[in-house]
A and B are shown apart, each in its own frame.
Chain A
Amino acid sequence: MIFKDNLPIYIQIMNIIKKRIVSGNLKEGEKLPSVRELSTELKVNPNTIQRSYQELERENLVFTQRGMGTFITEDKEIIKELKRDMASSIINNFIENMKSLGFTSQDIIELVNNEVKEVK
C-alpha cells in the first residue's frame, strides 16, 4: 500500500480504521486484525501498526484484552461522536474551500440544497 497524504503513516492507518468503524464495516465489539496480520496486509512496519492501535486506544475507540487482541469499543456514544467529528471535519474542509473560491455562507447553503435535491 502506498500512503500519499502528508501525514505520518500511523495517522493514515488510524483514519482508515475510523472510516471502517463509521461506515459500519467494523462493528461494535468486533476484533481488529492482529498487528502482524495488518502489518503484512498493508506491508507496513509492525511498530507503526502498534502505534496506530495505541493511539486509537487512547481515543477510546478500541480496547485491548490481554492475550485476546484489540476490539472496537462497544460504547455507542463514542462511535456516534466519532461520526459527528468526521462529518464536521469534512464539512469544515468543504466550507473553507468554498469560501476561498469566494462563495458566501448563503451561496453555499443554496448550492448544497440544490445538489442534495438532485441526488435524491
Chain B
Amino acid sequence: MTNIIEIKGLSKSYLNKKALNNLDLNIEKGKVVGILGPNGSGKTTLIKIITGILRQSKGEILIDGSKPGVYTKSIVSYLPDRNFLYKWMTVEDSIKFYKDFYKDFDESKAYELLKFMKLDRKAKVESLSKGMNEKLNLTLVLSRNAKIYILDEPIAGVDPVARDQILDAIIKNYNRESTMIITTHLVRDMENIFDDVVFLREGVVELSGNAEELREERSMQIDDLYKEIFG
C-alpha cells in the first residue's frame, strides 16, 4: 500500500498551548479515514496543516510526496467546518465560482450532485437552511477530481434526512484512486463508512487502525470504543 500522506513528529503550538504534540500518522491511498476525537483534540489543527492553511511548529508532513504548497493545494479538496460562500450568490453562481477557481472542477458532476441533493440551482445562498448549505458545500467539494478530499464535520447539525443524503453522496463519490479524510464526533452515524480510524487525544494519536479489525479485536463497535477511550 502507498501512503498518500506521511506525517512525522508533527507539533503545533499556539503561544503556550500545544495543539499537536509530536504526532506520527500515515494515511493510505484509496482509504476513507475517520479522524475522531473530542473538541480540542487537535483535529482541525491537523487538517489545517494538511490543507496548507497553517504551518507546523515542528516536524514533517508530505502529501503525495510534497510539502504543503501550491501542488498539494491543487490535489486537496477541502470542506471547512463553516460556510465559505458569499451571501449574494445563487447556487448556480457558486458552481461557476468554483469552476473558475479549480482546474479539476467537474461541472456536470456538480449538477448531477445538485439534483441528487434536491437543491434548486436558482436559490440564493443566504436563503438556504443549514442542512441545504452543508449539502451545497459538499456538492462543490466532491465535484473536484481531487486526489484527497478532506471533510471537516460534514454532518454536524443537519437533520437525519440531509445526513443520509450526505452519507450517500460520500459513498457514491468514493473511488479507489482518491482518499477521503473525515473528522467527526458523531461516530455512530459515520463509522460504517470508514476503512480506517484514528483517535486523537490532546494532539497525539491515541489509537489507530482498520475499523473492522478493531471491532474484531475489541468486540465492540467504533462508537463504543470511542466512548471507552474518551468517556
User: Which residues of A are in contact with B by a Cβ distance under 8 Å?
Assistant: 1-4, 6-10, 36, 39-40, 42-48, 51
User: Which residues of B are in contact with A by a Cβ distance under 8 Å?
Assistant: 32, 164, 167-168, 171-172, 174, 188, 192-195, 212-213, 215-216, 219-221
Q: A1-B192, A6-B219, A43-B193 are in contact. List 5 more A-B contacts (CB 8 A).
A: A6-B215, A8-B212, A8-B216, A43-B192, A47-B195
Assess whether B215 is in contact with A8, with CB atoms less than 8 Å apart: yes
CB closest chain-B residue, reference A4: B221
Chain B residues with Cβ below 8 Å from A43 are 164, 167-168, 171, 192-193
Assess whether A45 is in contact with B167, with CB atoms less than 8 Å apart: no
Assess whether B171 is in contact with A46, with CB atoms less than 8 Å apart: yes
CB closest chain-A residue, reference B218: A6
CB closest chain-A residue, reference B223: A2
Chain B residues with Cβ below 8 Å from A36 are 172
Instruction: State A9–B194 Cα separation when bound (angstroms).
Output: 11
Chain A residues with Cβ below 8 Å from B195 are 45, 47
Assess whether B215 is in contact with A7, with CB atoms less than 8 Å apart: yes
Give, as a whole number of angstroms, the nearest-CB distance from A39 to chain B. 6
Q: Which 3 A-B pairs have the closest CB atoms?
A: A6-B219, A8-B212, A8-B215
Assess whether B192 is in contact with A51, with CB atoms less than 8 Å apart: no
Assess whether A9 is in contact with B32, with CB atoms less than 8 Å apart: no
Instruction: State A7–B222 Cα separation when bound (angstroms).
Output: 11
Assess whether A6 is in contact with B221, with CB atoms less than 8 Å apart: yes
Chain A residues with Cβ below 8 Å from B164 are 43
CB closest chain-A residue, reference B172: A40
Instruction: State A4–B174 Cα separation when bound (angstroms).
Output: 25
CB closest chain-B residue, reference A47: B195
Assess whether B171 is in contact with A39, with CB atoms less than 8 Å apart: yes
Give, as a whole number of angstroms, the nearest-CB distance from A106 to chain B. 34
Assess whether A48 is in contact with B212, with CB atoms less than 8 Å apart: yes
Assess whether A10 is in contact with B171, with CB atoms less than 8 Å apart: no
Assess whether B212 is in contact with A10, with CB atoms less than 8 Å apart: yes
Give, as a whole number of angstroms, the nearest-CB distance from B190 to chain A. 9
Complex partner residue of A9 from B168, B171, B192, CB under 8 angstroms: B192
Q: In the complex where A9-B215, A10-B212, A51-B212 touch, is A44 in contact with B221 (Cβ < 8 A)?
A: no
Give, as a whole number of angstroms, the nearest-CB distance from A1 to chain B. 7
12 A-B residue contacts at CB 8 Å? A3-B221, A6-B215, A6-B219, A7-B219, A9-B212, A10-B212, A43-B171, A43-B192, A44-B193, A45-B171, A45-B192, A48-B212
Q: In the complex where A3-B221, A4-B221, A6-B221 touch, is A45 in contact with B32 (Cβ < 8 A)?
A: yes
Instruction: State A3–B167 Cα separation when bound (angstroms).
Output: 16
